[in-house]
């Protein structure tokens, strides 16, 4: 099996960081071509820095990291320091990164990579607001049919919203960008809150990361300890949902996830329901299916995979 060539677009974020580590720990399945940072959980200056910190934690100073868009296409930036802390990676003390940020804009890296490589060879893995992806599609529409697949974390249906009653954060921050991506015709696999809220960091699961006895294992445990306090208080749950690693786990073991190929459209006009992913789960309309919208995950197998792979670093 040849490794799938991917670009991770991300707003680290503790869960983004775990997703990046999982990708770097899985070279048989994943060839990470680069990381493009986007403003989301925290401003761009921090997300691009955090992406470099995570690469260095994995000993991978070779991974090119680019800064993308610092604000949504048409709206002001909404951030989530209340969840991720002011640095975006609160929890453990972290060293300043020493690897350089690449000079090319993240959107231009997306465009040049998709133009330079064979059509249908590159998968895009957005873990934050879809601003960079949409900006690339607007600037260079010729790249759209060249994208093999987009596997993204975002949206919600049965689980409803986490930043408003109607919307999940990544889609809420830049609904116009999400609308461009969901209408693009690119094959979409969506990891919404409906599935990520079933991948909860229980104490035994966090203890398993700590028991690895490695620096990455300790970091993941301490990030999780910090990250989960918000969701445990809000939902009264046993742990926090590890949202973004679901995207990477799907590339490695897709059979862990189940969902439906349905129509999903994005609310961009109403301020009450801005960013809602209107998922036609029961196929009550004749709208054309455009996304595989996941609804379930084998959580024990997911965490077994995550722990085993993080243990490789
Ligand atoms: O709503 C969860 C998503 O928003 C995750 O990607 C998290 O990192 C934040 O970006
Ligand atoms: Ca994220």
Residue 172: CB within 6 Å of ligand 1?
no
The b-or-e profile of 129-165 (16+ CB within 10 A means b, else e) is bbbbbbbbbeebeebeebbbbbbbbbbbbebebbbbe
Mutate to test the pocket of ligand 1, among 128, 155, 192, 193 (most ligand atoms within 8 A of CB): 128
Residue 24 is predicted with a pLDDT of 98
Residue 131 is predicted with a pLDDT of 99
Residue 174: CB within 6 Å of ligand 1?
no
d(CA 178, CA 99): 31
**What's the helix, strand, coil split of the chain in %, to 5?**
40, 20, 45
In tens digits, the chain (313 residues) has pLDDT values of: 789 999 999 999 999 999 999 999 999 999 999 999 999 999 999 999 999 999 999 999 999 999 999 999 999 999 999 888 999 999 999 999 999 999 999 999 999 999 999 999 999 999 999 999 999 999 999 999 999 999 999 999 999 999 999 999 999 999 999 999 999 999 999 999 999 999 999 999 999 999 999 999 999 999 999 888 877 777 787 788 999 999 999 999 999 999 999 999 999 999 999 999 999 999 999 999 999 999 999 999 999 999 999 999 9
Nearest CA owner, ligand 1 atom 1 = 169
Does pTM surpass 0.95? yes
d(CA 185, CA 159): 25
Residue 84: CB within 6 Å of ligand 1?
no
Residue 90 is predicted with a pLDDT of 92
Residue 233 is predicted with a pLDDT of 78
Residue 209: CB within 6 Å of ligand 1?
no
Residue 287 is predicted with a pLDDT of 98
Catalytic residue from among 105, 197, 243, 250: 243
**Ligand 1 atom nearest to CA at 162:** 1
d(CA 1, CA 269): 44
Mutate to test the pocket of ligand 1, among 85, 196, 244 (most ligand atoms within 8 A of CB): 244
For residues 181 and 170, the answer to whether their CB atoms sit within 8 Å is no
Q: Residue 246: phi, psi to the nearest 5?
A: -60, -35
Concerning whether 250 is annotated as a catalytic residue, the answer is no
Nearest CA owner, ligand 1 atom 10 = 128
Residue 234 is predicted with a pLDDT of 79
Residue 131: CB within 6 Å of ligand 1?
no
Residue 153: CB within 6 Å of ligand 1?
yes
Mutate to test the pocket of ligand 1, among 131, 243, 248 (most ligand atoms within 8 A of CB): 243
d(CA 297, CA 126): 19
Q: Which residue has the tokens 């869960």?
A: 15
Element (H, E) at 134: helix 131-139
At 216, list the tokens.
Answer: 């990455």
Domains in the chain: ranges and CATH: 4-310 (3.90.245.10)
Residue 11: CB within 6 Å of ligand 1?
yes
């Amino acid at each position: 099996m040849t490794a799938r060539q991917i670009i991770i677009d991300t707003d680290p974020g503790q869960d983004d960081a775990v997703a990046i580590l999982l990708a770097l720990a899985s070279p048989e399945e994943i060839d990470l071509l680069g990381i493009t940072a986007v403003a989301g959980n925290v401003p761009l200056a921090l997300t691009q820095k955090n992406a470099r910190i995570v690469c260095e934690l994995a000993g991978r100073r070779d991974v090119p990291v680019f800064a993308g868009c610092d604000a949504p296409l048409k709206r002001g930036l909404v951030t989530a320091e209340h969840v991720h802390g002011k640095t975006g990676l609160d929890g453990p003390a972290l060293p300043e990164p020493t690897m350089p940020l690449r000079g090319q804009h993240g959107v231009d890296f997306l465009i040049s990579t998709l133009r330079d490589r064979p059509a249908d060879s590159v998968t895009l893995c957005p873990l934050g607001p879809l601003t960079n992806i949409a900006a690339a599609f607007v600037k260079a529409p010729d790249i759209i049919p060249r994208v093999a697949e987009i596997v993204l974390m975002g949206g919600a249906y049965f689980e409803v919203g986490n930043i408003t009653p109607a919307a999940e954060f990544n889609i809420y921050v830049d609904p116009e960008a999400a609308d461009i991506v969901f209408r693009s015709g690119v094959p979409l696999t969506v990891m919404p809150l409906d599935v990520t809220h079933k991948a909860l960091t229980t104490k035994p699961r966090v203890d398993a990361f700590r028991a690895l006895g490695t620096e990455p294992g300790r970091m993941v445990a301490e990030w999780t300890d910090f990250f989960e306090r918000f969701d445990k208080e809000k939902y009264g749950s046993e742990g926090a949902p590890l949202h973004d690693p679901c995207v990477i786990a799907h590339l490695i073991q897709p059979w862990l996830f189940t969902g439906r190929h349905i129509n999903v459209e994005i609310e961009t006009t109403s301020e009450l329901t801005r960013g809602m992913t209107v998922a036609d789960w029961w196929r009550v309309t004749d709208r054309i299916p455009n996304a595989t919208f996941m609804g379930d995950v084998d959580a024990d197998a997911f965490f077994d995979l995550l722990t085993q792979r993080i243990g490789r670093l």
